[in-house]
Structure 1
Amino acid sequence: MRSEPEGEFHTVDVSRITSPARRAWLRTSDGVRIEANYQPCAAVPGTAAPSAGAVVLAHGFTGSVDRPAVRRAVAVLARRTAVISFSFRGHGRSGGRSTVGDREVLDLAAAVEWARALGHERVATVGFSMGGSIALRHAALYASGRGGRTEARSDAVAAVSAPARWYYRGTPSMRRVHWVVSRRLGRAVGRYGLGTRIDDRGWDPVPLSPVEAVPLIAPTPLLIVHGDRDPYFPLDHPRMLAAAGPAELWLERGMGHAENAADEALLARLADWLTDPRAAADGS
């Protein structure tokens, strides 16, 4: 997996918001076609006022835009704001092969750029597990001016169940992930059993790690969310991330890992924070 400089991002041409839910194909700067879905806000009467912005949701490893946990998260977030979901490269119907967190930053950037092309001036990102590490790297690259087009920047970022550092093998769950990624038989299982096509090349060079990305994100608001029963990454990961720079930390009692473990109450709180992080921090 060769890491190359992130350049300009290109997406399909779209009009401003005039229609309900829609599917689209986006194209990243390195030419990969990414499937994406736009879900307009469907505010529930009597709840908080809907946001005029949008949230881009980045799923975890082996997820996709059509996985039930992703669709459930989109449905809850859409009560408060418009939501764009998409399948990372090598996942779902998107093209390319998964680089397990490296080149996927281009996929997220293309989705954010699409949200702005649809007319949303404020765009927040939320990523789960692998998607959380990508959301952190994406926010850092654009906040520090290294990503090219400002249309792909995020205005707030939340990372749920994200790792702090690469190559972690300290839990049985992560040892299984490494087997899937690094072994020929494992990649076959990933392709035919998990619907995920994985690049067989190692990172060259190793991309910026999540914990290295955090100090570069400010002044963009940052939220770290992690469950105390996460079977993949123990609590030293979120604590390391939160300590690396200005960030709000939510440690969720009884929660497992990523979008599959995020219940409706947590997703609703995430929606409130993503649409107005300062108000959420004040408890208003």
Structure 2
Amino acid sequence: MHKLRLMPLAPNYPVMLRTTDGVRLDGAHTPAGPGGSDVGIVLAHGFTGSWRCADTRRITHVLSRYGGVVAFDFRGHGRSGGRTTVGDLEVHDVAAAVRHARSIGYEKVAVVGFSMGAAVAIRYAALHRGADAVVAVSGPARWYYRDTPPMRRVHWAIERPLGRIAARIARRTRISSGRWDPAPMPPHEAAALVAPVPLLVVHGDADTFFPVEHAHQIFAGAKEPKELWIEPGYGHAESAARPGMIVRIGAWIEANLS
């Protein structure tokens, strides 16, 4: 097992990505640790997140022991342009990050997504066929879910003008006011199209946003090769992720792409 250095964080270098639909994305490249690697890892954050957040930076640091990491802000988030569509057009953002990873020499690319980023990672792998491995952490299986208090707050931010203003001011997240037309393929259906690329589904049994039934639905929809981890005591997405779990995710990527 790789030894884990908690401090200082691995260095990163700024990158500017451009999507095929013309959106500029703010991002960073953290090279692979000692010895280098031909594996690139694209890190896709959750709704209202950023590659600059401390939680995401720590995850990037751990994953850089297993490959070079390209992290970025989704459209409408942080310093990226455009407005977020909360899981639809964001597949173009992941595609831009994967293209960049390959352009700087990574021969194999894994996409690791958290929450909204998990849904986008699955949809990207299914529809664009550009990933060599996919890890979906704390992801929803279906759209419009609002059966938990945190998800009702998320829908308020997305659907109400006052909520969108609050998200822009408090979280630097600019949300599109348009509705999906048509609604994108839900993650549990897209999961069936990921194979033969290996898929790892990770979910916490203490997730307050999406109960574990979402992970089971994604896993049931997927075809082999696939793996499901239900993590005891793990909450939701980046903020609850502990280094030990990220180490195991890195080792899974390494084992599947070595």
TM-score of the alignment, normalized to the shorter chain, above 0.5: yes
Aligned to 1:24: 15
Structure 1 stretches of 5 or more lacking a match?
Answer: 1-19, 44-48, 144-152, 280-284
Q: 1:194 aligns with which of 146, 171, 178?
A: 171
Aligned to 1:111: 97
Q: 1:78 aligns with which of 38, 54, 64?
A: 64
* Aligned: 1:211 with 2:188: yes
Q: Is the 8 A contact 1:56 1:111 kept in 2?
A: yes
Matches within 5 A, 1:10-159: 21-43=12-34, 51-143=37-129, 153-159=130-136
Q: In structure 2, give the amino acid aligned to 1:32.
A: V
Aligned to 1:4: none
In the TM superposition, structure 1's runs of 4+ consecutive aligned residues that sit over 3 Å from their partners are none
Aligned to 2:162: 185
Q: Is the 8 A contact 1:51 1:275 kept in 2?
A: no
* Aligned: 1:273 with 2:244: no
- C-alpha deviation, 1:81, in angstroms: 1.3
- What do residues 216-252 of structure 1 show as CA deviations (whole Å, max 9, x unaligned)? 0100000000000000000110000111122200000
Q: Secondary structure at the match of 1:193?
A: helix
Q: Is the 8 A contact 1:224 1:250 kept in 2?
A: yes
- C-alpha deviation, 1:52, in angstroms: 2.0
- What do residues 29-75 of structure 1 show as CA deviations (whole Å, max 9, x unaligned)? 110000110000124xxxxx763211000000000110111101000
Q: In structure 2, give the amino acid aligned to 1:176.
A: R
Q: Is the 8 A contact 1:22 1:37 kept in 2?
A: yes
- What do residues 100-151 of structure 1 show as CA deviations (whole Å, max 9, x unaligned)? 00000000000000000001110000000000000000000023xxxxxxxx
CA distance, structure 2, for counterparts of residue 199 and residue 113 of structure 1: 25
TM-score (normalizing by structure 1): 0.84
CA distance, structure 2, for counterparts of residue 101 and residue 216 of structure 1: 17
CA distance, structure 1, for counterparts of residue 165 and residue 71 of structure 2: 26
Structure 2 stretches of 5 or more lacking a match?
Answer: 1-10
Matches within 5 A, 1:247-266: 247-266=226-245
Q: Is the 8 A contact 1:51 1:81 kept in 2?
A: yes
CA distance, structure 2, for counterparts of residue 139 and residue 154 of structure 1: 6
Q: Is the 8 A contact 2:31 2:69 kept in 1?
A: yes
CA distance, structure 2, for counterparts of residue 70 and residue 22 of structure 1: 15
- C-alpha deviation, 1:215, in angstroms: 0.5
- C-alpha deviation, 1:267, in angstroms: 0.5
CA distance, structure 2, for counterparts of residue 26 and residue 232 of structure 1: 30
Q: Is the 8 A contact 1:54 1:81 kept in 2?
A: yes
Q: Is the 8 A contact 1:124 1:275 kept in 2?
A: no
CA distance, structure 2, for counterparts of residue 42 and residue 128 of structure 1: 23
CA distance, structure 1, for counterparts of residue 165 and residue 12 of structure 2: 34
Paired residues, what number?
246
Q: Percent identity?
A: 52
TM-score (normalizing by structure 2): 0.93
Tell me how large the CA RMSD over aligned residues is.
1.3
